[in-house]
Structure 1
Amino acid sequence: MSTSVNINFQQLKSKLQLPKPWDSIIIFVLNILLTIPVFIIVHQNIIDPQWPFHLDQVFLFLIIVILFQLLLRALRTIIIIAIFVYLLILLFGTVIGGYGFNAVAEDYRAMMYSMADNPNPQDVIIAKLLPFPNKSQILESIEFNNPKVRNFALYATTKHFKDVKGYHKDRRMIQCFAVFKEIRNRWNYVNDPKNTEYIARASESLVHFSGDCDDHAILMAACIRAIGGTPRLIHTGGHIYPEMLIGKKADLEQANYLIKNVLFAEESRNKEIHYHVDERGQIWLNLDYTARFPGGPFMSEEILGALTLN
């Protein structure tokens, strides 16, 4: 009886095994497919030591590859079952809109693109800064609930990037970038009256798309907020400009990929992405009118105050 069971087990084992060298090839491919999402999750949730040439990411990737290689070799007798389970999980994620085949491909592209073209971080902004000039008046002027402002923002999202497919989870970010593009393309800088600080409401700036930096920042912030984004204004002394909340490091990597490879490829060619990191580790992307693409160069590096619209 024992001999019969042993023979049956050996027969089952031989059926589940792949012939050489296909077993090694399949193990390597499965290793890479498993390593990519695990690497992305791990490196997004650990402190970035800022090693040169991304050596920290290279070492982390190699460690995960080696661990999976050892694990898969230990399970090589049931490698077919492992492949089936992995594909089943990804298929289930694709069907229900979770982490599926498309998500693996997008995360891999964003990860590799970010490693090849690292964004340009700026100094962390501390929580307590100088009082923001004309704060009450500016807040009143950011009329994100005004139907004219909301309708213009909707118009911008239908004019730009509407046909970009495959980035459902980044839809809000892409639509905010569409608003940036439309306002930036139409904005005409005009000085305030002499010796007067004139602050135009967002709905007022929609008439001619003209005004100075604070008028532009107010309009941009209102339109971004009107479609669900989180904007803030940065005061540098002689200049005010808008920024948009991107999120954490993983979101920055995806924004970097979208800007440089999908939405603003020509404008951002060979350029760095500029942003600020606040005291909570949240990343804010520059949306100044002087930039040709989201995350373009800052007009001024000095930061005296920040006004956030929650």
Structure 2
Amino acid sequence: MIKIKKINFQGIKQKFQVAKPWDDVIIFVLNILIAIPVFIILHQNLINPNWPLNIDRVVLFIVMIVVIQVLLRFMRTIILFCIILYFLILIYGSTIGNYGFNSVFEDYNSIMYTMSDNPYPQDIIIAKLLPFPSKSKIINAIEYQNPKIRNFAIMATSKHFKDIKGYSDYRTIIQCFAVFKEINNRWNYVSDPKGGDYIATATESLLYFSGDCDDHSILMAASIKAIGGTPRLIHTKGHIYPEILIGTVTDLEKVNFLIKNILFVNESKEKKLFYHVDERGQIWMNLDYTARYPGGPFLSEEILGALTLN
């Protein structure tokens, strides 16, 4: 007779079991790591009732912690398997460029920053979960090292604000604003072909200064990066627009003075500047094609993702 060995489930169970009290510690840490991305996803997709002090979101986070803690306790016998699975998911997300280790770290900072006593919580970007649309195509289309883009940007800096003196610390930003002025003064909005999303390269849009919002954003980002600025693209519902890194609150005060008193006096007269503050406290200013001056009104404010070009 053929003897069939019995599988020692008890032995397998013990191999995946962590000794006390470390199992409780690991469960709690894993709980936090899981809760952060889940909370961000729910935060993005649930209607915000606008309760004072974001109490609804605080309650949501606490409920999530409790539920996940209970579930993990039921699974404590295979806790090592859960950890391995979690890290495999993050490794996969990091590899394909979606949600990975960096995203978890940044979203954790975002949550802490949002829950702090910040006077302008509406300016904080905490949503970076959804895949940026056509990300690889857009990155490839931002040809900031192409000589044609570089030469165009240099032409713009020679044409606008060349004689501004006394602001050497903000020379690069002033020159990027010159690029903004040149592009937005000439931009002609043209829709994509029906039934398709056409991604034009920066050099392609440079021919006629025409295209839709993503074409404008690509050309703006490429031109700004070509002369040392730091741009990023913001994805909202049905829209993409560019922003430029301004820096700190002190930098914002200087830039605000420059825009309203020297560079875009008529365009910005008696108007406010629109910008976002990220989870690190850095200020990004709107450069959309609909804006007549840097920091002009947002066309769409609900942010679904950000693509930063470092």
Secondary structure, counterpart of 2:306 in structure 1 = strand
Q: Distance in 1 between matches of 2:121 and 2:228?
A: 25
CA contact (8 A) 1:122 1:274 kept: no
Matches within 5 A, 1:14-25: none
- Letter of the 1:171 counterpart: R
Deviation at 1:121, TM superposition (A): 8.1
Q: Identify the residue that residue 35 of structure 1 maps to in structure 2.
A: none
Matches within 5 A, 1:112-151: 122-126=122-126, 128-151=128-151
Q: Could you tell me how far apart the structure 1 residues matched to 2:256 and 2:122 are?
A: 15
Structure 2 residue aligned with 1:220: 220
Instruction: Report SS of the residue matched to 1:244.
Output: strand
Give, as a single letter, the amino acid of the residue that structure 2 aligns with 1:169: D
2:201 maps to which residue? Answer: 201
- Runs (4 or more) in structure 1 with deviation over 3 Å come to none
User: Relative to structure 1, is the Cα distance of residues 251 and 172 closer, same or farther in structure 2, using a 3 angstrom cutoff?
Assistant: same
User: Residue 293 of structure 1: CA displacement?
Assistant: 0.1
Partners of 1:291 and 1:193 in 2: CA distance: 25
In 1, distance between residues paired with 2:247 and 2:218?
A: 21
Q: How much does 1:127 deviate?
A: 6.1
Instruction: Compute the displacement of 1:168 (Å).
Output: 1.2
- Structure 1: gaps of 5 or more residues: 1-119
State the 1:129 CA deviation: 2.6
User: 1:250-272, CA deviations, whole angstroms, 9 ceiling, x for partnerless residues?
Assistant: 11001100000110010000100
Does the residue aligned with 1:164 lie in a helix, a strand or coil? coil
RMSD: 1.1
Specify the SS of the correspondent of 1:191: coil
Q: Which residue is equivalent to 1:292?
A: 292
Secondary structure at 1:284's aligned position in 2? strand
Aligned AA for 2:152? F
Match runs of 1:106-255 below 5 Å: 122-126=122-126, 128-255=128-255
Offset, 1:201: 0.1
User: How far is the alpha carbon of 1:130 from its aligned partner?
Assistant: 1.2
Superposed displacement of residue 128, structure 1: 3.4
User: Structure 2: how far apart are the matches of 1:278 and 1:227?
Assistant: 23
- Cα distance between partner residues in 2 of 1:300 and 1:135: 20
1:257 maps to a residue whose letter is F
Contact 2:202/2:219 (8 A) holds in 1: yes
**Counterpart Cα distance in 1 of 2:250 and 2:205:** 34
SS at 2:241's partner residue? strand
Partner-residue secondary structure (3-state), 2:303: coil
Q: How far does residue 123 in structure 1 lie from its aligned partner after superposition?
A: 2.3
Aligned-partner Cα distance in 2 for 1:260–1:121: 25
2:183–2:220 contact (8 Å) kept in structure 1:
yes
Q: Where in structure 2 are there 5+ consecutive unaligned residues?
A: 1-119
1:11-90 residue pairs with structure 2 within 5 A? none
Separation of aligned partners in 2, 1:222 and 1:191: 21
Q: What amino acid is aligned across from residue 171 of structure 2 in structure 1?
A: R
Letter in 2 for 1:198: Y
Residues in 1 aligned to 2:221 and 2:214: alpha-carbon distance in whole angstroms:
10
Number of residue pairs matched by the alignment: 191
Q: Can you list the C-alpha shifts for 1:139-189, whole angstroms capped at 9, x where unaligned? A: 000000000000000000000000111111110010000000000000000
1:266 alignment partner, SS class = coil
Letter in 2 for 1:267: E
Distance 1:279 1:273, change over 3 A: same
Query: Which residue identity lines up with residue 300 of structure 1 in the other structure?
Result: S
Query: CA shift at 1:122, angstroms?
Result: 4.2
Q: Deviations over 1:69-110 (max 9, x none)?
A: xxxxxxxxxxxxxxxxxxxxxxxxxxxxxxxxxxxxxxxxxx
Contact residue 129 and residue 306 of structure 1 kept, 8 A = no
Secondary structure in 1 matching 2:174: helix
Query: Counterparts of 1:271 and 1:129 in 2: how far apart (Å)?
Result: 32
**For 1:233, what is the secondary structure of its paired residue?**
strand
Q: Deviations over 1:105-128 (max 9, x none)?
A: xxxxxxxxxxxxxxx884211263
Distance 2:299 2:179 in 1: 20
SS of equivalent residue, structure 2 residue 177: helix
Identity %: 74
TM-score w.r.t. length of structure 2? 0.61
Question: Is the contact made by 1:121 and 1:276 (CA closer than 8 Å) also made in structure 2?
Answer: no
Instruction: Give the letter aligned to residue 199 of structure 2.
Output: I
